Structures are given as C-alpha cells and as structure tokens.
C-alpha cells in the first residue's frame, strides 16, 4: 500500500494566501485609527480612558450584509459591500446615542482570493472612516466546501460608548412630537431577497434603465448604505432634544419606528411627504408588490428616523441639513 501525505493546502486551505490577505487588511485598518489606538507588540489596542464621559457604558452590535452580497458576486464589484457591513452595526449603536469606537470584521470564504478580500477590506475601512471608528482586529477564514466557489460571507461587530444619562430609549416621546426622516441612499442592505426575485428575472444587472435615471441596475443595487453617525453625534453634542431614534432596516419603516413608540401612542404618517428613490418604484411595479408589503420590507427612502418635540422640529431639521442630510417631516406622534 502506498502512503499518501496530505497538507493543509491539499485540503483546500492556503495559509500563505491567508497571510497575504491579512497583511493587506492590516494596512487598510491603520487608515481608520483614531488617536486612542495604540500598537503594542503588533497588536492594536484602544485606550478606553474616556475623558469626556462621566459614566460611560459600553454598547455593541453585530450584523452582516445579507443577500446584497449576491449582487457583488454577480458583478465582480466588491469594494462597497464593506461600507454596508460597517453601516449596519454603527447605525444601530447611534440609535441609542452611542458613539462607535472600534469595529471587528469577519470574512469567510471557500477559497481565499487576496485581491477580492482586499477590495472588501477597502470598503470596510472606508465605512469606518465615515463612522470615525477603528478596526483593531478581525478574522479571515478559508473553509473549503462550506461556501460556493467565488462567494463569501461577511459579519461585523461594532463596539462603542454612551453616557449613562444620555441613553436614548424612546421613553420621552410624547403626543404631538414630530418625526423627522433622514433620507436613505437606496435599499441600504435590506430586502434584497425580494428585490432580486422581482428584478433579476426582468432586467440584466448592467442594463441602464430610464426608470433609474439612466443608471445601471447594478449601480442602484450596490449603492452603499448611508452612515448617519457623524450627523447624529453632532446633534447630540449640540444638545438637540432627540426623544427617539430608529435605524430603518429589515422589517421596514413602520415596524422599526413603531418599536420605539410608547404603547399608548402611534405614528401618524404623511406618506407623500418624502421622496422615494426610484429603485423602490421599480421593485413595486416589476413585482406587483403591495404598498403594505413595501412598507414592511424596505426603508422606502428613510434610512433613519428622529423623534423631536414639535417646538424644536424646524431647528433640528435645519441642524441635520447643515450636516449634509436630506430631511423630511414624515409624521407626528398621536395618542391611541
């Protein structure tokens, strides 16, 4: 009998490719370092002595990108989904008033391609720069036969801090308060299973569609999730009276905003008060999707909702607009 010797590489795991990908990711991570990041013995650490916080509470959140990744695989465009990965977690932190500090990404694939991994890492680094948080760790995993060839999955965890006395829960929301909607950049990272089902049987990804103002379908579907961190933190630093915050993700506008409203109150919406990016109309018309289903699945053009006292609504709206947000008054809080 012939003895056969196997290596880890024979089993499908290329350690050298993994080292290459990690080195490329590390170089990009350094571009995200805040002043609090220290490198000791090759390890990135965060100095957590919070001079401006009296009673700091740690806050964290994890998320992924979902089936939006299927669009990246189909187009070979991998440099924006990392922004989505960061956005989904950091936008969750700020809905409680938290300041994101560090981000830890996880990239897993069947066969590692360092070039694709670097493109993904470029997006993650850009998202972290937009959110002013630092990549101080992470993991790249090569798992043969676990994922389809040419595909990967992403997950990420954001950690931050919030002043105990300034945690935003929605408990201060009252009848008569106004709901401001901060415009989304498009689908963000939700509803792609439905979007792909109704769009890709009719249109090619590279088709330039008049319904999208001449943009290609791929461009519209890969539009990165907007990151609201700096705008929300600026409002909090200006002591704007933010009574409640909602990150509009899976489950849509009605459900996500509804979760922070006290049980004796409800939101009375003005559905025509804001602009819907054209991708939503294309989905609705292509799949004959009901309006109720649209509201229960997508953000419909509102990526973040802010509840404020009626007397301060215009001032807070102007504050966000000065920070580059497109803002709509989308409803009011009413008693049941």
| pLDDT 10s digits, 87-131 | 999 999 999 999 999 999 999 999 999 999 999 999 999 999 999
Does residue 184 share a domain with residue 159? no
Specify if 6 maps to a domain. no
Q: How confident is the model at residue 264 (pLDDT cuts 50, 70, 90)?
A: very high
Does residue 186 share a domain with residue 155? no
* C-alpha separations of 241 from 99, 170, 313 in Å: 17, 12, 9
The mean pLDDT of 303-327, rounded to a whole number, is 97
Does residue 315 share a domain with residue 225? yes
Specify if 5 maps to a domain. no
Q: Which residue has the higher pLDDT, 61 or 2?
A: 61
Specify if 68 maps to a domain. yes
pLDDT at 216 over 70: yes
pLDDT at 10 over 60: no
Specify if 7 maps to a domain. no
Q: Which of 45, 52, 196, 251 is nearest to 135 (CA)?
A: 45
Specify if 1 maps to a domain. no
Does residue 330 share a domain with residue 252? yes
State the pLDDT at residue 11: 56
Rounded percentage of the chain residues whose pLDDT exceeds 90: 85
Structural domain ending residue among the three candidates 136, 166, 196: 166
State the pLDDT at residue 25: 82
Summarised one tens digit per residue, pLDDT across range 127-173 is 999 999 999 999 999 998 899 988 999 999 999 999 999 999 999 99
HSE of 37, CA atoms in CB hemisphere, 13 A: 19
Specify if 231 maps to a domain. yes
State the pLDDT at residue 15: 63
Specify if 171 maps to a domain. no
The mean pLDDT of 295-303, rounded to a whole number, is 94
Structural domain ending residue among the three candidates 109, 133, 166: 166
Does residue 128 share a domain with residue 267? no
Q: How confident is the model at residue 5 (pLDDT cuts 50, 70, 90)?
A: low
| Residues 6+ away with beta carbon under 8 Å from 39 | 45
Summarised one tens digit per residue, pLDDT across range 39-77 is 988 889 999 888 789 999 999 999 999 999 999 999 999
Cα–Cα distance measured from residue 156 to residue 107, given in angstroms and rounded to the nearest whole number? 9
Does residue 304 share a domain with residue 223? yes
CB-CB contact of 91 with 158 (8 Å): no
Does residue 241 share a domain with residue 184? yes
Cα–Cα distance measured from residue 234 to residue 228, given in angstroms and rounded to the nearest whole number? 10
The CATH number covering residue 191 comes to: 3.90.650.10
Structural domain ending residue among the three candidates 166, 195, 212: 166
pLDDT at 177 over 80: yes
Specify if 8 maps to a domain. no
State the pLDDT at residue 18: 66
State the pLDDT at residue 305: 97
Rounded percentage of the chain residues whose pLDDT exceeds 70: 95
Range(s) of the domain holding residue 69: 15-166
Q: How many domains does the chain have?
A: 2
The CATH number covering residue 123 comes to: 3.30.1330.10
Q: How confident is the model at residue 4 (pLDDT cuts 50, 70, 90)?
A: low
Cα–Cα distance measured from residue 216 to residue 205, given in angstroms and rounded to the nearest whole number? 7
Does residue 107 share a domain with residue 208? no
Does residue 49 share a domain with residue 135? yes
State the pLDDT at residue 17: 66
Does residue 201 share a domain with residue 146? no
Does residue 193 share a domain with residue 225? yes
Does residue 127 share a domain with residue 20? yes
């Amino acid at each position: 009998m012939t003895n056969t010797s196997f290596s880890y590489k024979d089993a499908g795991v290329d350690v050298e490719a993994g080292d290459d990908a990690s080195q490329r990711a590390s170089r990009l991570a350094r571009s995200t370092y805040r002043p609090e990041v220290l490198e000791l013995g090759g390890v990135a650490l965060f100095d957590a002595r919070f001079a401006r916080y009296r009673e700091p509470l740690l806050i964290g959140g994890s998320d992924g990108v979902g089936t939006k990744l299927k669009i990246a695989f189909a187009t070979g465009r991998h440099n924006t989904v990392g922004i989505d990965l960061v956005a989904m977690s950091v936008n969750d932190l700020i809905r409680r008033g938290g300041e994101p500090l560090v981000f830890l990404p996880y990239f897993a694939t069947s066969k590692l391609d360092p070039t694709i991994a670097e493109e993904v890492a470029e997006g993650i680094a850009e998202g972290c720069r937009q959110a002013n948080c630092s990549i101080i760790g992470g993991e790249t995993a090569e798992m043969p036969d676990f994922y389809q060839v040419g595909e990967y999955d992403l997950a990420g965890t954001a950690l931050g801090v919030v002043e105990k006395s300034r945690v935003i829960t929605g408990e201060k929301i009252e009848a008569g308060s106004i709901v401001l909607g901060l415009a989304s950049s498009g689908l963000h990272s939700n509803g792609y299973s439905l979007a792909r089902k109704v769009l890709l049987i009719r249109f090619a990804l590279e088709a330039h569609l008049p319904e999208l103002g001449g943009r290609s379908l791929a461009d519209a579907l890969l539009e990165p999730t907007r990151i609201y961190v700096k705008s929300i933190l600026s409002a909090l630093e200006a002591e704007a009276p933010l009574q409640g915050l909602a990150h509009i993700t899976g489950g849509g506008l009605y459900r996500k905003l509804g979760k922070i409203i006290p049980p004796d109150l409800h939101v009375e919406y003005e559905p025509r008060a804001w602009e819907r990016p054209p991708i939503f109309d294309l989905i609705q018309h292509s799949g004959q999707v009901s309006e109720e289903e649209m509201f229960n699945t997508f953000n419909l053009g509102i990526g973040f909702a802010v509840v404020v006292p009626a007397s301060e609504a215009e001032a807070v709206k102007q504050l966000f607009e000065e920070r580059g947000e497109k803002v709509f008054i989308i409803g009011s809080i009413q008693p049941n």
